[in-house]
């Protein structure tokens, strides 16, 4: 639990690629149908990056929009964090590549991997680093090119995911939404629930790992569903309790955009009306670490938030990881 809090969300921005693929078009490539996908997930379409469009390119466009909204210059940024499970390469970090593309000075840059919980993890880390007094302006990004690790022979996973990026500017001073606190956790006891088996030091790339399709995302959907609802409920309740806030005081919930049925189940378990949840997964599918910042940006643009509204952000991801954050708009 982190409540150093009081960082200011000065700007938010997002970017999704121009290639739009709806369920009917996807059914020409995969043994599936629009009805099968929509009834199980709520997803209608998703975006895919072009072949020459890397995760850092998606992050660049989202970051430029967040910087513009915040009214800061790249020279003022002294910390860059990128949450991703699909970096441009194993090293150097995507954050370093993004730093160069933005023209940010030689400051602290690193990637963070907590899968779909990654953006909120990164906000928590940035908040703590800003609170140390050694940093003044952080660029926090969630960016993914999940189409690069999809197994197009597995219809249970490839229909779920899309590409995109979201970015935020955090400072300790200035006008914006106030980050009140964070809760992050993990249970690494069953990593095979959602993982990419090959490509790391445990299973380096080889002819065998390629033939076994080990470099693609693998998921146990049934177990992930049950775990996701449970851990997001816990992360939400624990954070609210820690801050002495009743659930009825929450005006907006921005959940990880993975599955409409997960969101509906979370709404029921938290006893928060579904109309308080902001969802755009029907347009983009699951964009992992980019999911919450894209939704947050769209909610801002749709003028969903009034002054002093309380927002709850909550996510789960591979690990299993979970995270939540409270925001006063």
Which one is catalytic: 96, 256, 259, 279? Answer: 256
pLDDT, one tens digit per residue, over 139-187 is 999 999 999 999 999 989 999 999 999 999 999 999 999 999 999 999 9
Residues in CB range of 76: below 8 A, 6 or more apart: 136, 137
pLDDT, one tens digit per residue, over 201-213 is 999 999 999 999 9
Q: What is the pLDDT of residue 2?
A: 57
CATH topology of domain 7-176: Peroxisomal Thiolase; Chain A, domain 1 (3.40.47)
pLDDT, one tens digit per residue, over 25-44 is 999 989 999 999 999 999 99
Of all residues in the chain, the percent with pLDDT exceeding 70 is 98
Query: Within a 13 Å sphere around the CA of 80, how many CA atoms are in the beta-carbon half?
Result: 29
Residues in CB range of 66: below 8 A, 6 or more apart: 11, 12, 13, 139, 167, 168, 169
Place of tokens 């955090």: 170
Rounded distance between C-alpha atoms, residue 268 and residue 271, angstroms:
5
What average pLDDT does this structure show over 10-37? 95
**Cβ neighbourhood burial of 211 (10 Å; 0-12, 13-18, 19+):** exposed
pLDDT, one tens digit per residue, over 219-266 is 998 899 999 999 999 999 999 999 999 999 999 999 999 999 999 999
Residue 254, preceding peptide bond in cis (omega within 30° of 0): no
Would the pLDDT of 327 be above 80? yes
pLDDT, one tens digit per residue, over 53-70 is 999 999 999 999 999 999
Rounded distance between C-alpha atoms, residue 280 and residue 294, angstroms:
9
Strand 310-317 versus strand 252-255 pairing type: parallel
What average pLDDT does this structure show over 98-114? 97
pLDDT, one tens digit per residue, over 259-313 is 999 999 999 999 999 999 999 999 999 999 999 999 999 999 999 999 999 999 9
**Cβ neighbourhood burial of 132 (10 Å; 0-12, 13-18, 19+):** exposed
Answer for the pair 305, 311: CB distance below 8 angstroms, yes or no: yes
251 is catalytic: no
Q: What is the pLDDT of residue 5?
A: 57
pTM confidence score: 0.96
Rounded distance between C-alpha atoms, residue 252 and residue 273, angstroms:
10
Instruction: Kindly report the average pLDDT of the chain as a whole number.
Output: 96
- How does DSSP assign 181-244, residue by residue? EEEEEE-TT-GGGEE--SSSSSS---HHHHHTTTTS-EE-HHHHHHHHHHHHHHHHHHHHHHTT
116 is catalytic: yes
Q: What is the pLDDT of residue 6?
A: 79
Which one is catalytic: 23, 259, 280, 286? Answer: 286
Residues of the chain with CATH 3.40.47.10: 7-176, 180-279+290-328
Would the pLDDT of 188 be above 80? yes
109 is catalytic: no
pLDDT, one tens digit per residue, over 70-96 is 999 999 999 999 999 999 999 999 999
Answer for the pair 71, 113: CB distance below 8 angstroms, yes or no: no
Would the pLDDT of 4 be above 90? no
Please measure the distance between the N-terminal and C-terminal CA atoms of the chain and give it in whole angstroms: 21
Residues in CB range of 169: below 8 A, 6 or more apart: 9, 10, 11, 12, 66, 67, 69, 70, 72, 77, 137, 138, 139, 140
Answer for the pair 312, 73: CB distance below 8 angstroms, yes or no: no
Q: What is the pLDDT of residue 324?
A: 98
Would the pLDDT of 320 be above 90? yes
Answer for the pair 76, 70: CB distance below 8 angstroms, yes or no: no
Class of CATH domain 180-279+290-328 = alpha beta
Which one is catalytic: 109, 116, 137, 184? Answer: 116
């Amino acid at each position: 639990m982190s409540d150093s809090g009081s960082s200011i969300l000065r700007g938010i921005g997002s970017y999704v690629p121009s290639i739009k693929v709806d369920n009917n078009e996807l059914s020409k490539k995969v043994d599936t149908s629009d009805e099968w996908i929509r009834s199980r997930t709520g997803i209608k379409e998703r975006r895919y990056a072009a072949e020459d469009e890397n995760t850092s390119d998606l992050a660049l466009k989202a970051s430029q929009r967040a910087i513009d909204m915040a009214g800061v210059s790249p020279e003022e940024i002294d910390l860059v964090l990128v949450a991703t499970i699909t970096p441009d390469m194993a090293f150097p970090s995507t954050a370093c590549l993004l730093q160069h593309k933005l023209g940010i000075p030689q400051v602290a840059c690193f990637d963070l991997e907590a899968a779909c919980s990654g953006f909120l993890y990164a906000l928590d880390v940035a908040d703590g680093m800003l609170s140390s007094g050694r940093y003044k302006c952080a660029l926090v990004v969630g960016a993914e090119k999940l189409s690069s690790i999809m197994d197009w022979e597995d219809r249970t996973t490839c229909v779920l995911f899309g590409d995109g990026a979201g970015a935020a500017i955090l400072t300790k001073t200035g006008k914006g939404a106030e980050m009140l606190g964070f809760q992050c956790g993990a249970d690494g006891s069953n990593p095979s629930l959602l993982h990419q088996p090959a490509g790391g030091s445990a299973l380096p790339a080889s002819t065998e790992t390629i033939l076994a399709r080990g470099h693609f995302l693998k998921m146990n959907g049934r177990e992930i569903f049950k775990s996701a609802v449970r851990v997001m409920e816990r992360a939400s309740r624990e954070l609210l309790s820690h801050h002495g806030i009743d659930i009825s005081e929450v005006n907006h919930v921005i959940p990880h955009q993975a599955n409409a049925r997960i969101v509906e189940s979370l709404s029921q378990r938290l006893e928060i009306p579904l109309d308080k949840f902001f969802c755009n997964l029907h347009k983009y599918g699951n964009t992992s670490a980019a999911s919450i910042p894209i939704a947050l940006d769209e909610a801002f643009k749709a003028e969903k938030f009034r002054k002093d509204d309380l927002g709850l952000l909550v996510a789960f991801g591979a690990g299993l990881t979970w995270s939540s954050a409270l925001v006063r708009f």
